[in-house]
Structure 1
Amino acid sequence: MQDSKTSLGLRKLIPEEKAKMLSVGVFLFLSYSTAPVVLGVPPIKIQPEQVHLSYPGVYGSMMVTWTTFDEADSMVEYGLLGGKLFEMMAKGSSTIFVDGGSEKRKLFIHRVTLSALRPGFTYVYHCGSGAGWSDIFYFTALNESSDWSPRFALFGDMGNENPQSLARLQKETQVGMYDVILHIGDFAYDMDEDNARIGDEFMRQVESIAAYVPYMTCPGNHENSYNFSNYRYRFSMPGDTEGLWYSWNVGPAHLISFSTEVYFYTDYGLDLIVKQYEWLKKDLEESNKPENRKSRPWIITMGHRPMYCSNNDHDDCTKFESLVRKGLENLFYLNGVDLELWAHEHTYERLWPVYGFMVYNGSREEPYVNPKAPVHIITGSAGCREKHDGFIPDPRDWSAFRNSDYGYTRMQVFNSTHLYLEQVSDDQNGKVIDSMWLVKEQHGVVAWV
């Protein structure tokens, strides 16, 4: 048998060919191996499934998370694409998750951190143990310098039933269009339903995205059951708050994920409002230190429920006394947050730069060039069983564009001054229905002057 590197020649592949050639390569590897291959019925309860990636916030690392339904070891075998298959191995651990439903179903959530990865290089991996292995996947280790241009897909409110945008996202992810996925709350509808079986089904569905790029999340209102336990156990975000709030750096951006739900599910602890606020304040102060803002000038937040919206459903964002706006708008404004990403409303809405219900465009001709307030984007139309939300007939003064098609948003942070956003309509076969450049020659609160 020839060495796999020379026989497959995978190093020269363009991203669109990776998925196709990877499956061919695995076939060849198995077909020409001198060792016999025995195909049998997989050991279901210890067979890995629901594989997904996340970035732990540590240089040169990637977290692999998966589920089994019985106890098993936690191992990832991996190697550089085009090199020897599975020449490296990392071990981790598992956590027992007992769902709060009547059956008290038990899941084993496995986590393994891969370290010392080479930024920008593609790795092939599978996860599991000697008792059962997952399918083979691949990912590209994040380039962690501040002078590259990361590409994102972002959306919220995608369910197990009617996830209309999923197929397009699957293909675009696998051909290498994105470096990171941002899921801005509301998963599965709902992960706890049918004793968490809906959560299992949803995680199987998004494996075709989340096993290839970091799948970064924040909690939404549909995760609230049993104190957000399905969300807290199933996802592996940076920090020590079980993904409720955290931050991380990618390219020239500092991203902050937080929970809007602390303002609404106060039975789980009023102290969470204070704890999150104090954490946000400290994180924003740190990211605004001159040396940090110079290397990561963009500060981007993501939280589920918007501060503003022009929908007609009487949600928090339709009210002048919005809890989220009252709780966080001043903090974000006074710390020079550039862009605020939201979901919850099953629509897309782009706002003019806004603060305190007032529009602060950069100029009449170029509203998003050196704006004088943060820009808000609402992207909650990926698809779920609750269908679309409606709009009030007349948009507010701060509403620049709105649309109720199923779809999702693409974002690229090009450099320290230019950021691009566009909205994709799945109803219109992937047509870009809205786009904007956000241009800032200055960042921080001085940009508002």
Structure 2
Amino acid sequence: QSSSIYITLTIIGFFFTGVPGSMVVTWTTFNKTESKVEYSFLGGRHFEMTANGDATLFVDSGEEQRHMYIHRVTLTGLKPAAAYVYHCGSDKGWSDAFFFAALNDSTNFSPRFALYGDLGNENPQSLARLQKETQLGMYDAILHIGDFAYDMHEDNARIGDEFMRQIESIAAYVPYMTCPGNHEATYNFSNYRNRFTMPGQTESLWYSWNLGSAHIISFSTEVYFYLEFGLELLFKQYEWLKKDLEEANRPENRAVRPWIITMGHRPMYCSDDDQDDCTMFDSYVLHITTHKNVEFVSFTGVDLELWAHEHTYERLWPVYGYKVYNGSKEQPYVNPKAPVHIVTGSAGCREKTDMFNPNPKDWSAFRSTDYGYTRMQVVNTTHIYLEQVSDDQYGKVIDSIWVVKESHGFSAWF
């Protein structure tokens, strides 16, 4: 018999694969079965189309060496913005029916995101609000910026199973895009590598994708902290990132998708008082970049950098090298002269929220210790809107900004 199916609906390399209109459905069973998705246009005859895939055996490294099968099925030829209903499984058992809208592949599309990190199996305070808003159709994609479940490997990976069931009511409806965090490190990130399906061939550790007028890059900050797993990933990611940014900055590509947005778990800057890396002037994530790391990103005209790890929300003024480069005193985010950083790691987990240093640096613009998450809309080629939702205050928007750029790229900073 099939047992305990849960589903993660994720995007598959929309544009850089050359196959528009594709989605990957990922789910898990505890015995070997076929991998099948039946789907149809919402409102039509149910499940009149079928796609087949395959399953990969994942053996957790805990004491019980639990076996599970990770199923992946790619849906192709989806019509942009069309609504579909689907279920997955096999003749041994089927999931519930879910629905999704295929992503619009137009560069004029204005995608809406929810973004957050550090969402746990225990105390997932923002989860209910995110579940409801997702099913109301408020988001086109989710960005989960590291740290899942706390922790997926615990109790012989049963915490990972339960967490995936918890987010199913989000991840089965919209693309659930991820990057690894420090809480995924056990057994060399094996639960993360196996449970999620991101674009590219890097086991979801780093990748990029396009949506609307944005090129979105996800990378691993963890390759700089878990050197016991080898230096190879550090150098591989750097070479990949360098090549990806060079391609994104080609004039013909930047003209079509001028926004470059990055997401990585551990921030370059923060003003928390927990002595994490970002609280220190010689922050590892910030300073190793001078040679072969992420600050290289800033030299390539990246517009917006999204982080988590700190269990707080912090919006920075446009900053580079610890110095503020506002567009102007009156309109700091209009034609800023450096990247805009957002730290959003307060979705809710067993470690609670963090505290702030009472004396923030000049680059810190707004801070909150409320549980919550961030919304973002890439409105067009010149405007991005961001707002912070407080779950403690029943969904109140406690902070918002417009980032406006009339020109993009490193040269726009001068």
Under a length normalisation based on structure 2, what TM-score does the superposition of the two structures give? 0.97
2:218 matches 1:257: yes
Instruction: Give the share of equivalent positions with the same residue, in percent.
Output: 72
Give 1:270 shift: 1.2
Q: Which residue is 1:430 aligned to? A: 395
Structure 2 CA distance for aligned equivalents of residues 313 and 436 of structure 1:
27
Query: Equivalences for 1:279-428 in 2 at 5 Å?
Result: 279-326=240-287, 327=289, 328-428=293-393
2:202 matches 1:246: no
Structure 2 CA distance for aligned equivalents of residues 358 and 344 of structure 1:
22
Q: Which residue is 2:37 aligned to? A: 76
**Residue 6 of structure 2, aligned match among 21, 46, 50:** 50
Structure 1 CA distance for aligned equivalents of residues 5 and 381 of structure 2:
39
Given that residues 409 and 422 in structure 1 are in contact (C-alpha distance below 8 angstroms), is that contact kept between their aligned partners in structure 2? yes
2:161 matches 1:200: yes
SS state of the match for residue 294, structure 1?
helix
**Residue 159 of structure 1, aligned match among 120, 126, 133:** 120
Give 1:48 shift: 5.5
1:420-444 CA distance string (max 9 Å, x none) = 0000000000000000000000110
Given that residues 47 and 133 in structure 1 are in contact (C-alpha distance below 8 angstroms), is that contact kept between their aligned partners in structure 2? no
Structure 1 CA distance for aligned equivalents of residues 301 and 9 of structure 2:
30
SS state of the match for residue 86, structure 1?
coil
SS state of the match for residue 95, structure 1?
strand
- The letter for the 1-side match of 2:23 is M
SS state of the match for residue 208, structure 2?
strand
1:177-196 CA distance string (max 9 Å, x none) = 00000000000000000000
Give 1:49 shift: 1.8
The runs of 5 or more residues in structure 2 that have no matched partner are 15-19
Structure 2 CA distance for aligned equivalents of residues 242 and 110 of structure 1:
14
2:90 matches 1:134: no
Structure 2 CA distance for aligned equivalents of residues 220 and 243 of structure 1:
12
Give 1:447 shift: 1.2
- The letter for the 2-side match of 1:365 is E
The list of structure 1 runs, each at least 4 consecutive aligned residues, that deviate by more than 6 angstroms after superposition, is none
SS state of the match for residue 415, structure 1?
coil
Deviates more, 1:407-416 or 1:271-280: 271-280
Structure 2 CA distance for aligned equivalents of residues 130 and 385 of structure 1:
38
- How big is the alpha-carbon RMSD for the aligned residues of Structure 1 and Structure 2? 0.7
2:31 matches 1:66: no
Structure 1 CA distance for aligned equivalents of residues 81 and 40 of structure 2:
14
- The letter for the 1-side match of 2:228 is D
Give 1:171 shift: 0.2
Given that residues 379 and 408 in structure 1 are in contact (C-alpha distance below 8 angstroms), is that contact kept between their aligned partners in structure 2? yes
Structure 1 CA distance for aligned equivalents of residues 38 and 232 of structure 2:
42
Given that residues 174 and 209 in structure 1 are in contact (C-alpha distance below 8 angstroms), is that contact kept between their aligned partners in structure 2? yes
SS state of the match for residue 103, structure 2?
coil
Structure 2 CA distance for aligned equivalents of residues 50 and 357 of structure 1:
44
1:340-397 CA distance string (max 9 Å, x none) = 0000000000000000000000000000000000000000000000001111011110
Asked which structure has the greater CA Rg, the reply is 1
1:179-219 CA distance string (max 9 Å, x none) = 00000000000000000000000000000000000000000
Given that residues 47 and 134 in structure 1 are in contact (C-alpha distance below 8 angstroms), is that contact kept between their aligned partners in structure 2? no
Give 1:47 shift: 3.6
Aligned length: 405
Given that residues 47 and 128 in structure 1 are in contact (C-alpha distance below 8 angstroms), is that contact kept between their aligned partners in structure 2? no
Structure 1 CA distance for aligned equivalents of residues 192 and 66 of structure 2:
15
Deviates more, 1:325-334 or 1:265-274: 325-334
1:150-176 CA distance string (max 9 Å, x none) = 000000000000000000000000010
More helix per residue? 1
- The letter for the 2-side match of 1:438 is V
Give 1:277 shift: 0.8
Given that residues 363 and 369 in structure 1 are in contact (C-alpha distance below 8 angstroms), is that contact kept between their aligned partners in structure 2? yes
Q: Which residue is 1:8 aligned to? A: none
SS state of the match for residue 423, structure 1?
strand
Given that residues 316 and 365 in structure 2 are in contact (C-alpha distance below 8 angstroms), is that contact kept between their aligned partners in structure 1? yes
1:9-44 CA distance string (max 9 Å, x none) = xxxxxxxxxxxxxxxxxxxxxxxxxxxxxxxxxx4x
SS state of the match for residue 273, structure 1?
helix
Given that residues 6 and 95 in structure 2 are in contact (C-alpha distance below 8 angstroms), is that contact kept between their aligned partners in structure 1? no
The runs of 5 or more residues in structure 1 that have no matched partner are 1-42
